[in-house]
């Protein structure tokens, strides 16, 4: 009959080897919190940068709309004339300037016998605004349009 050591129990004077309890040490918990805080800080920075970019793009889209509408309105209500006009949007956020100048591009040579009563005008719309980043921004669009020179 064989006797096992478990049945007899520990001998006196000898200590059992210390058994590690299940769980995390304080150092492991601190390191885990440190890593979590770094990941969260980086994620927050990416999120806020993305939101800032979205606001900038929305402002640029609005400036583009203002410039396009000014260019489209030029020469529709009255004939094109050289000059400058300015104004601002209804909300007062965007200021615009519309410049109409005679373009030399495509102009007929004065020595040619056939002269035309039409010419090209360069129309430029410049939109300025103070962005959400508190800096001044400018957006410009230009086109050529055919109009009467008489």
* pLDDT for the residue 9: 54
What percentage of the chain has pLDDT greater than the value 70? 81
- Do the domain assignments include residue 10? no
Query: Which residue is listed with tokens 């921004």?
Result: 137
- Do the domain assignments include residue 2? no
Residue 10 has pLDDT above 70, yes or no: no
Banded model confidence at residue 68, pLDDT cuts 50, 70, 90: very high
The domain spanning residue 69 has which CATH number?
Answer: 3.30.1300.30
Residue 102 has pLDDT above 80, yes or no: yes
DSSP letters, 40-91, are HHHHHHHHHHHHHHHHHHHHHHHHHHHHHHHHHHTTTSS---SEEEEEE-TT
- Structurally, how many domains does the chain consist of? 1
Residue-range definition of the domain harbouring residue 132: 25-106+116-148
Lowest mean pLDDT among 50-54, 81-85, 109-113: 109-113
- Do the domain assignments include residue 19? no
User: Rounded to whole angstroms, how far apart are CA atoms 129 and 95?
Assistant: 6
- Do the domain assignments include residue 17? no
Are residues 75 and 143 in contact, defined by beta-carbon separation less than 8 angstroms? no
* pLDDT for the residue 117: 79
Query: Which residue is listed with tokens 């609005």?
Result: 62
Cα 128 to Cα 62, 66, 113: the distances in Å are 11, 10, 45
Are residues 103 and 121 in contact, defined by beta-carbon separation less than 8 angstroms? yes
- Do the domain assignments include residue 62? yes
pTM of the model: 0.66
- Do the domain assignments include residue 80? yes
pLDDT tens digit string along 18-65? Answer: 566 678 899 999 999 999 999 999 999 999 888 888 988 999 999 999
Mean of the per-residue pLDDT values for the chain?
84
* pLDDT for the residue 84: 92
* pLDDT for the residue 24: 83
Banded model confidence at residue 146, pLDDT cuts 50, 70, 90: confident
Cα 12 to Cα 7, 40, 99: the distances in Å are 14, 54, 104
Are residues 120 and 107 in contact, defined by beta-carbon separation less than 8 angstroms? yes
């Amino acid at each position: 009959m064989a006797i096992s050591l478990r049945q007899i129990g520990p001998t006196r004077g000898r200590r059992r080897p210390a058994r590690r309890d299940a769980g995390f040490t304080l150092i492991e918990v601190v390191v885990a919190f440190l890593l979590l805080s770094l990941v969260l800080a980086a994620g927050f920075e990416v999120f806020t940068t993305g939101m800032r970019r979205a606001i900038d793009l929305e402002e640029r889209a609005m400036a583009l709309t203002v410039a396009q509408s000014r260019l489209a309105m030029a020469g529709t209500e009255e004939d094109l004339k050289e000059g400058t006009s300015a104004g601002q949007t209804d909300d007062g956020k965007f200021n615009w300037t519309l410049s109409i100048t005679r373009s030399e591009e495509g102009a007929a040579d004065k020595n040619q016998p056939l002269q035309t009563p039409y010419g090209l005008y360069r129309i430029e719309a410049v939109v300025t605004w103070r962005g959400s980043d508190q800096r001044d921004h400018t957006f410009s669009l230009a086109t050529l349009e055919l109009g009467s020179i008489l």
